[in-house]
């Protein structure tokens, strides 16, 4: 996997951010297990709650095209090393439990994490599988 290429794609996506309210631009680019690349930017809506982060834009584009396994995702933003919000960490968990998360300022300045470092002791699809539940005895 070419990390610099993924960061370049995230930087390109960042330019498309629709952020008239915060003026905080974020871009994301992910690569799936089968090698497809999807990008996303953050999109703000005037009533705020429909706003969508760049990471989820990219992930939902991938999933809606039939790609459910994220190998890596690169994120760039206007802050010095922009990390994904908690909601996006959970969405990454759903489709990329073992994904590499690349937090970048530029092609040459980036940090790599495993999801488990950013979302330790996470809850995921496996927790709902048969045989892994306690049948509601604690409810
Ligand atoms: Zn987010």
Q: What are the boundaries of each domain within the chain?
A: 3-122
Does pLDDT of 139 surpass 60?
no
Is 42 marked within a binding site?
yes
At residue 95, φ and ψ (nearest 5 deg) are -115, 0
Residues designated catalytic: 55
Distance CA 10, CA 21 (A): 21
CATH 1.20.1440.230 correct for 3-122: no
Give the per-residue pLDDT at 135.
66
Whose tokens are 């995921």? That residue is 124
- Tell whether residue 83 is among the known ligand binding residues: no
**If you measure from the C-alpha of residue 49 to the centroid of ligand 1, how many angstroms do you get, rounded to a whole number?**
12
Q: Ligand 1 centre and the CA of 128: distance in Å?
A: 24
Question: Which candidate, 69, 83, 70, places its Cα nearest to that of 111?
Answer: 83
Contact 59/92 with Cβ under 8 angstroms? Answer: yes
Count helices and strands in the chain by DSSP H and E runs? 4, 5
In the reported structure, the alpha carbon of residue 26 is separated from the centroid of ligand 1 by a whole-number distance in angstroms of 10
The string of pLDDT tens digits covering residues 26-81 is 999 999 999 999 999 999 999 999 999 999 999 999 999 999 999 999 999 999 99
Q: Is 43 annotated as a binding residue?
A: yes
Tell me the percentage of the chain whose pLDDT exceeds 70.
Answer: 95
- Angle between helices 54-64 and 3-14 in degrees, nearest 10: 110
Q: Please tell me the distance between residue 52's alpha carbon and the centre of ligand 1 in angstroms.
A: 7
Q: Is 132 annotated as a binding residue?
A: no
């Amino acid at each position: 996997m070419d990390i610099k290429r993924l960061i370049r794609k995230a930087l390109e996506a960042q330019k498309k951010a629709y952020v008239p309210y915060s003026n905080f631009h974020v871009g994301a680019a992910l690569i799936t297990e089968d090698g497809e690349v999807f990008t996303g930017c953050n999109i703000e809506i005037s009533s705020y709650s429909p706003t969508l982060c760049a990471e989820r834009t990219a992930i939902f584009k991938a999933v809606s095209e039939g790609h459910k396994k994220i190998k890596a995702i690169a994120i760039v933003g206007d802050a010095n090393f922009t990390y994904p919000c908690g909601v996006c960490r959970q969405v990454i968990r759903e489709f990329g439990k073992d994904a590499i998360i690349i937090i970048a300022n530029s092609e040459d300045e980036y940090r790599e994490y495993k999801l488990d470092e950013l979302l330790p002791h996470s809850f995921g699809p496996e927790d709902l599988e048969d045989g892994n539940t306690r049948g509601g005895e604690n409810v």
